[in-house]
Amino acid sequence: MAEAYFLKHPSQEDIKKKIEGFPAWLEIDLDALTHNIKQVQKKVGVELVPCVKSNAYGHGLVPVVAHMMTLGIKRVLVAKLYEAQQLREAGLDCGIINMDPLFSDEKFNEVVDQNITQTVYLQKTADKLDTAAKNRGKIVSVWIKIDTGLGRVGVRWNDAIELIKSVSTLPNLKIEGLFSTLSENLELDKIQLERMKQISAELDELGIKYGVRSMASSNAIFHEPDTYLEAVRPGIMLYGLYPEPKDREKHIDLKQCFTMKARIEQIKTIEPGESLTYSKRFTATKKMRVGTLHIGYSDGFPRGLTQKGKVKVGDHIKPVLGTVSVNHTLIDLDDTKVEVGSVVEAISQQGENDAAHTAETAGIMIYSLMVGMNFLLPRVFIKNNKKHYSYQI
């Protein structure tokens, strides 16, 4: 099923032609994704339930999940019901755990009809889902979210047994997992883990089945092996991105998956004293060649790169000049031979302008950089060492 997804794409030649028309796009190296998944699997030795929320952290949900499925991934985690539906519409039949809360009958019915696993932490949600499943003659899987100490969402740990006991009696629901989000504070995480273990031990005594227990996302995969339990939920690290510089000390070798590319839409030569962009933010001190890239902060190239960003033009790293605006970014093109239409790496896969450096320069977290990637940017996916292209717009 998942392999077939890639076979449905246009020929390499057609895709190359399409790319020629893209002013800006993301290139996603699915071989790097394979590498990262294998690294994490080797490290944890338990089931990986990848977090693919926010359009797979900007990488493009459907092709990323299709590729993960070819690597044996059985279920993924989404934050929006819409994302779960996108996966089903693409014909992908993996398990999908939806974390979006449900507020209308229509949404409950969609979860049932599309065979989606729903996160449950309120009795009311469980009851309504059970009724929707019963009305449609189906059994729906649920993962129970437990708040073991983060205080965000989830049934509070001391109320968990009562809720789970009750859910286990609902004939049209099947509990397939218990999960909780750690607070990423070593001391509190230990307490949270103990709370989860206590709950599962009590359920064992009561003979209530709960499937897998899951607590660890990327941070805990790097730093807290005790929390792996039966399933881990990595997000950012699968895309080859370290949440923080300290994570690199843990020697999990990850490869950034994406490159952000943009074409030069105009080139001009300016004189000393001439200024560029809003508020005269940049003033030339010499005669210089300047290029306008067709990419801006609406695309996901952060505004915080104003006067500070770096892009890769051929082999040169060149500075951003003046303000990054909604759709445009100006760069220094001195000593380069590029022309209008030439491709520049706004964010490279490695080096001085990779994602980590870019986020740091812009003063944002790597997470913000990734979830800020506009859905409208075309994505080009590269699989099997560039021998096979596919794309999704």
- Rounded Cα gap, residues 285 and 46, in angstroms: 58
Place of tokens 């290029």: 291
Q: Is 82 a catalytic residue?
A: no
Q: Taking contact as CB under 6 A, which single stretch among the options 13-21, 102-110, 233-241, 255-263 is the one that binds ligand PLP? A: 233-241
Q: Which of 13, 25, 23, 20 is nearest to 261 (CA)?
A: 25
Nearer to ligand PLP by Cβ, of 213 and 233: the residue is 233
**Of positions 39, 218, 323, 358, contacts ligand PLP by CB under 6 A:** 218
Q: Taking contact as CB under 6 A, which single stretch among the options 27-35, 109-117, 214-222, 272-280 is the one that binds ligand PLP? A: 214-222
Q: Taking contact as CB under 6 A, which single stretch among the options 59-67, 230-238, 332-340, 380-388 is the one that binds ligand PLP? A: 230-238
**Of positions 33, 44, 51, 73, contacts ligand PLP by CB under 6 A:** 51
Angle separating helix axes 186-206 and 160-169, nearest 10 degrees: 40
Find the shortest distance in angstroms from Cβ 64 to ligand PLP: 14
Rounded to a whole number, what is the largest CA-CA distance in the chain? Answer: 80
Q: Which of 169, 162, 129 is nearest to 146 (CA)?
A: 162
367 touches 239 (CB < 8 A): no
Q: For residue 137, with 0-12 CB atoms within 10 Å meaning exposed, 13-18 middle and 19 or more buried, which class applies?
A: exposed
Q: Taking contact as CB under 6 A, which single stretch among the options 121-129, 236-244, 286-294, 307-315 is the one that binds ligand PLP? A: 236-244
**Of positions 30, 140, 231, 236, contacts ligand PLP by CB under 6 A:** 236
**Of positions 58, 234, 304, 378, contacts ligand PLP by CB under 6 A:** 234
Catalytic residue among 38, 278, 287, 386: 278
Nearer to ligand PLP by Cβ, of 247 and 299: the residue is 247
Place of tokens 């969402």: 153
167 touches 173 (CB < 8 A): yes
Q: Write out the two tokens for 202.
A: 């009590």
Residue count of the chain, please give it. 393
- Rounded Cα gap, residues 73 and 374, in angstroms: 26
Select the residue whose beta carbon is closest to ligand PLP and give its number: 235
Nearer to ligand PLP by Cβ, of 77 and 347: the residue is 77
Nearer to ligand PLP by Cβ, of 97 and 270: the residue is 97
Q: Taking contact as CB under 6 A, which single stretch among the options 199-207, 228-236, 255-263, 358-366 is the one that binds ligand PLP? A: 228-236
**Of positions 208, 243, 274, 307, contacts ligand PLP by CB under 6 A:** 243
- Rounded Cα gap, residues 270 and 251, in angstroms: 47
**Of positions 213, 233, 328, 383, contacts ligand PLP by CB under 6 A:** 233
Binding-site size for ligand PLP (CB under 6 A) equals: 12
Catalytic residue among 43, 53, 312, 383: 53
Q: Taking contact as CB under 6 A, which single stretch among the options 136-144, 227-235, 265-273, 377-385 is the one that binds ligand PLP? A: 227-235
Nearer to ligand PLP by Cβ, of 217 and 323: the residue is 217
Q: Which of residues 247-276 bind ligand PLP (CB under 6 A)?
A: none
Residue 95 in the binding site for ligand PLP (CB under 6 A): no
Q: Is the C-alpha dihedral spanning 237, 371, 343, 297 positive or negative?
A: negative
Residue 235 in the binding site for ligand PLP (CB under 6 A): yes
Nearer to ligand PLP by Cβ, of 218 and 227: the residue is 218
Q: Which of residues 110-149 bind ligand PLP (CB under 6 A)?
A: none
- Rounded Cα gap, residues 130 and 19, in angstroms: 47
Q: Which of residues 170-189 bind ligand PLP (CB under 6 A)?
A: 181
Give Cβ neighbours of residue 347 (< 8 Å, ≥ 6 apart).
258, 259, 260, 301, 311, 353, 354, 355, 358
Tell me the pairing of strands 24-29 and 379-383: parallel
Q: Which of residues 331-390 bind ligand PLP (CB under 6 A)?
A: none
Residue 217 in the binding site for ligand PLP (CB under 6 A): yes
Q: Is 278 a catalytic residue?
A: yes
Q: Is the C-alpha dihedral spanning 356, 361, 364, 369 positive or negative?
A: negative
DSSP count for the chain of H helices, then E strands:
13, 20
Give Cβ neighbours of residue 196 (< 8 Å, ≥ 6 apart).
146, 148, 157, 178, 180, 213, 215, 229
- Residues engaged in binding ligand PLP (CB under 6 A): 51, 77, 181, 217-219, 233-237, 243
Q: Which residues are catalytic?
A: 53, 278
